Amino acid sequence: MDMKRSYYEDIELFKSGVILFWTIVFLLVLFTFPLYMSDYALYLLNLIMVYVIVSVGLNILVGSTGQISLGHAGFFAIGAYATVLLMTNLQIPFFIAIIAAAFIAAFFGFILGLPALRLEGPYLTIATLAFGLAIMHVIGHTEFFGGRQGLMAPPLDLGIPQLGWSFVLSSETSKYYLVLIITILMVLFAINILKTKAGRAFVAIRDSDIAAEVIGINLTMYKTLSFAVSAFYAGIGGGLFAFVLGFFDPFTFNLILSIIFIVMIVVGGLGSVMGSITGAALITYLMYDLFKNVNEAPYVGPLFVAFSERWMTITGMDNFNYIALGLVMIGIMLFEPLGMFGAWIRIKKYWKTWPF
């Protein structure tokens, strides 16, 4: 009888009470972390969330629309630099600065998306790669951007200091809550975008651009829009990243970072928001924590160190980091091409029928 409701169920944020329940539990746990976690752990979580934002956006471009970008470190850098420079040079309040920075990144995304209409596959990827490198080098060679020395983030003031209203976040805990709330919002936005007109159009272009066109999808508009949206996400991520690190230089945003973003979504699962989140969390943890400290591990650690000193370059331990990441990615591609999200779907299916 109540037909309308049943159609709404299709698009509801939480398809069932069970999902809603576990989401709330998960969020509650996230909100209690600062009560018992060290500052270092919170710093790590902040990094994870920043990368979650970037991955979710990148996955809209790569997973949903089917266009590969190896230049996302560039948008990420634009977000970080623009936010900080707008705040320090023009005294613009944080929230306005970060949103403006994201729009600047989105504008660059739009520009970079234009060749996407002519360039296909690998050619487009190379264009994005060139963009990422160009951004890094332009920043590195421009005094205004702090050059090679890099930039220092100003105090994270959420108020409007000109009006005498200041609200400075200095502790790791307070930053954690800010990043957490913004991350939750960005994730929810992405879920909604993918469920409405634009998101469906992205998927349509990925699956069959010819069919997309004959049902009235403007390829120019949606391909560039997809670039802009994903650059916007990288911009927001970059703006937060600046404050999580406190200090950054152009080489933070190198090609390796762009590749790591891709690894995150491939490992997590292309085209899935949940995949982006798990992929970003896992890879960030591996990179910044587990692999970094591998030399301190009993038995294996000293072995690695010895091997590294004997056979590898000076930055020996970092090499292991990338080798390990590469192996994780190869492993995922071999055993679970759909990423962690694919594995999760299979496990869910398995338990659904268990024990019958």
Partner 1 sequence: MGYFSVENLSISFGGIKAVDNISFSVEKNEIFSIIGPNGSGKTTIFNLISGIYKPDDGAVIMEGENLVGKTPDRIAKKGIARTFQNIELFANATVMDNLMLGRHIHMNTGIFTGAFMFGKRSPAAREEVEHREKVEKIIDFLELQSVRDQFVGSLAYGKRKLVEVGRALALEPKVMLLDEPSAGMNTEEKDDLTIWIKDIREDYQMTILLIEHDMNMIMGISDRVFAMQQGKKITLGPPQEVQKHPEVIKAYLGEEGIS
Residues near partner 1, by CB under 8 A: 3-4, 7-8, 10-11, 13, 188-190, 192-193, 195-201, 203-204, 206-208, 210-219, 225, 229, 271
Choose between 210 and 334: whose C-beta lies nearer to partner 1. Answer: 210
> Minimal distance in Å, beta carbon 251 to partner 1?
33
Choose between 42 and 265: whose C-beta lies nearer to partner 1. Answer: 265
> Minimal distance in Å, beta carbon 214 to partner 1?
5
User: Mapped to the 3 state alphabet, what secondary structure does the chain carry?
Assistant: CCHHHHHHHHHCCCCCHHHHHHHHHHHHHHHHHHHHCCHHHHHHHHHHHHHHHHHHHHHHHHHHCCCCCCCHHHHHHHHHHHHHHHHHHHCCCHHHHHHHHHHHHHHHHHHHHHHHHCCCHHHHHHHHHHHHHHHHHHHHCCHHHCHHHCEECCCEECCEHHHCECCEECCHHHHHHHHHHHHHHHHHHHHHHHHCHHHHHHHHHHHCHHHHHHCCCCHHHHHHHHHHHHHHHHHHHHHHHHHHHCEECHHHHCHHHHHHHHHHHHHHCCCCHHHHHHHHHHHHHHHHHHCCCHHHCCCHHHHHHHHHHHHCCCCHHHHHHHHHHHHHHHHHHHHCCCHHHHHHHHHHHHHHHCCC
Q: Which of 251, 242, 266, 253 is nearest to 340 (CA)?
A: 266
> Minimal distance in Å, beta carbon 211 to partner 1?
4
> Minimal distance in Å, beta carbon 208 to partner 1?
5
> Minimal distance in Å, beta carbon 275 to partner 1?
14
> Minimal distance in Å, beta carbon 103 to partner 1?
12
> Minimal distance in Å, beta carbon 209 to partner 1?
9
Q: Report whether 64 contacts 190 (CB < 8 A).
A: no
305 vs 324: CA distance, rounded Å: 15
> Minimal distance in Å, beta carbon 260 to partner 1?
26
Choose between 61 and 190: whose C-beta lies nearer to partner 1. Answer: 190
Choose between 68 and 219: whose C-beta lies nearer to partner 1. Answer: 219
Choose between 145 and 202: whose C-beta lies nearer to partner 1. Answer: 202
